[in-house]
Chain A
Amino acid sequence: MTDKLFAESEAAALEQLHAQGLTDGLPVVIPTDERVARMVLATGQAAELTLGDMGPAGGSATIEKIAVAAVMAGCLPDHMPVVIAAIEAIINPAFDLTEMQATTHCTAPLILVNGPARAACGGIASGFGALGPGFRANASIGRAVRLAMMNIGGARPGVSDMALLGHPGKFSYCLAEDEASSPFEPLHVSRGFNAKTVW
């Protein structure tokens, strides 16, 4: 069960979240019980199901905690499959999340979305300015993963995240593959999957 905080108003709650270092410095959507429950429902999974531990703090990445991060980031329920997939990817031991979070290098995981999820999960942009402002799915999905890395994984600048100057991609770093316009074979094919693979 996720620890809960209490406040008299959403404005007070926002200040409390900022004060406790639980935001990325920008305003967040307050993760009320109702909003989190709606986000959990979108995953089709039990709230207490854990995908694994996130380093360096070793926090358990439960569906509920990921949903909290997604609400705070401004996600829509439609975005959740991509958020969950990205979390699963970064907690894979081969990714070495603990070291990546703690390093002095200024790194951020790039979430590159390929296949039907591009349209089905909120319309993830792939064209002009896709890594910049203006695209809700890109901004929110990447931000949700970052907030999970901070609040479940425990990455705190200067304490457990020693990136020297950080990186703008640490706010959000998500875009889709523009398969229709690309002269290259789709990403999943280049990674060895069948062209018709759907998951």
Chain B
Amino acid sequence: MRDGIEAAKQGLPALALVTDAFWPQGDFVAKSFGMPNLPRLQLPHPIAGTGQARMQAVAEDLVDDMIKALSA
């Protein structure tokens, strides 16, 4: 979220990828840093440590939504 916020503040297209377990924290951070509407996509949790094959599958599931969000 912080990376996305910093990118957005610099005028760059930004999309935060947040797992469902961290979704409430994402909301909290977005509001705290004054960007409550920062675009974000929800990922299944966990992602870290689940292996390259699963990360590849998650990425393939989300890539169209990512492109769409960043093109909006």
Contacts and interface: CB of A to CB of B under 8 A. Distances in A.
A43 interface: no
Contacts of A121: none
Interface in A44-74: 55-58
Contacts of B28: 56-57, 154, 156, 159-160
A166 to B, nearest CB: 15
A158 B29 contact: no
A162 B25 contact: yes
B32 interface: yes
Nearest to B48: A104
Interface in B25-59: 25, 28-29, 32-33
B29 A56 contact: yes
A160 B25 contact: yes
Contact of B24 (A56, A57, A158): A158
Nearest to B29: A56
A141 B39 CA distance: 41
A57 B28 CA distance: 8
B21 to A, nearest CB: 8
Contacts of A56: 28-29, 32
A55 B29 CA distance: 9
Interface of A: 55-58, 102, 154, 156, 158-160, 162
11 contacts: A55-B32, A56-B28, A56-B29, A56-B32, A57-B32, A58-B33, A102-B29, A154-B28, A158-B24, A160-B28, A160-B29
